[in-house]
Copies of this chain bind each other. A is one copy, B any other.
Amino acid sequence: MGTTERKKREKRQRRDTIIDAAEKIIFSKGLDQATMTEIAKEAELSKGTLYLYFKNKNELYMAITKRGSNILNQKLVKIFSGDHTGIELIRLMGETYLTFVRDNPGYFNAFLHYDSLRDTEDLQNSEIAQICEGNKQEAMALMVRALQIGIQDGTIKSSYNPKELAVIIWASTRGITMINHTMRQTDHHFKMIEDMEVNTDSMFENFLNLVGEGMATKKGQKKYD
């Protein structure tokens, strides 16, 4: 009989329930203010049970990171199923990232926290961390692929090393996303520049136009005029 199967499924569901509860609490109050007891209560379980499914609070938060990066990567992969030139792919990836972070600031906080972990020992022994790492690498690989496509179809200059360029574009996009995110999170209370509310919506657009002039070929730039 499929008892074993059912048990496994139920266990996965419990796990998901816990992650759901953790997201709800942590996203609303922040990691520090969220307590394991409260998360347990939200999941209608006792605190002890949480520790049967997750080694500790950090690992639970990493499970959220994993879930977030899975969702993001799914969106990124989907872009490639459409019929786009290389430069268009770059733009779409950036916009997708920006939109994802805007709609899911909690996940982005989880990403940032994940990146701030330093205990290499712990990270390497954690299965979840390995998957998070894999997702990061996959996103980067997609960007490389977009650039290679662009070089192939002539929308991106062939003088660049796609891997090097990918890292730069990705890093810059993240930087812009972060400013965006931080400003939203602090409720626009602190302004970056006196007498100027930066239009966060157009920032990535402007960035692409700026970088586009260096990166794209004439053919690749046409789209932006």
Residues of A within 8 A of B (CB): 30, 109, 112, 115-118, 120, 123-124, 133, 136-137, 140-141, 144, 160, 163-168, 170-176, 178-179, 182, 185-187, 189-194, 196, 198-199, 202-203, 206-207, 209-215
Q: Do residues A206 and B112 form an inter-chain contact, with CB atoms below 8 A? A: no
Task: Write the nearest CB–CB distance from A30 to chain B, whole angstroms.
Answer: 6
Q: Do residues B192 and A167 form an inter-chain contact, with CB atoms below 8 A? A: yes
Q: Do residues A190 and B140 form an inter-chain contact, with CB atoms below 8 A? A: no
Given contacts A123-B186, A167-B203, A213-B213, 15 further A-B contacts (CB under 8 A): A109-B116, A112-B112, A115-B182, A124-B189, A133-B190, A136-B190, A136-B192, A144-B193, A160-B210, A163-B193, A164-B198, A164-B202, A173-B175, A174-B175, A212-B214
Known A-B contacts A118-B30, A137-B193; the reply to A178 vs B182 at CB < 8 A is: no
Known A-B contacts A120-B186, A137-B192, A163-B193; the reply to A210 vs B171 at CB < 8 A is: no
| Chain B, residue nearest A124 (CB) | B189
27 chain-A/chain-B pairs, Cβ below 8 angstroms? A109-B116, A112-B116, A115-B178, A118-B185, A118-B186, A120-B186, A120-B189, A123-B189, A123-B190, A133-B190, A137-B194, A140-B193, A163-B196, A164-B198, A164-B199, A164-B203, A167-B179, A167-B198, A168-B210, A171-B175, A171-B207, A172-B172, A172-B175, A173-B175, A174-B175, A175-B176, A212-B214
Copies in the complex: 2
Known A-B contacts A109-B116, A214-B209, A214-B211; the reply to A193 vs B178 at CB < 8 A is: no
CA distance A210 to B165 in the complex (A): 9
| A172 / chain B contacts, CB cutoff of 8 Å | 171-172, 175-176, 207
Known A-B contacts A172-B176, A175-B175; the reply to A193 vs B214 at CB < 8 A is: no
Task: Write the nearest CB–CB distance from A218 to chain B, whole angstroms.
Answer: 13
| Chain B, residue nearest A133 (CB) | B190
Task: Write the nearest CB–CB distance from A64 to chain B, whole angstroms.
Answer: 15
CA distance A165 to B202 in the complex (A): 11
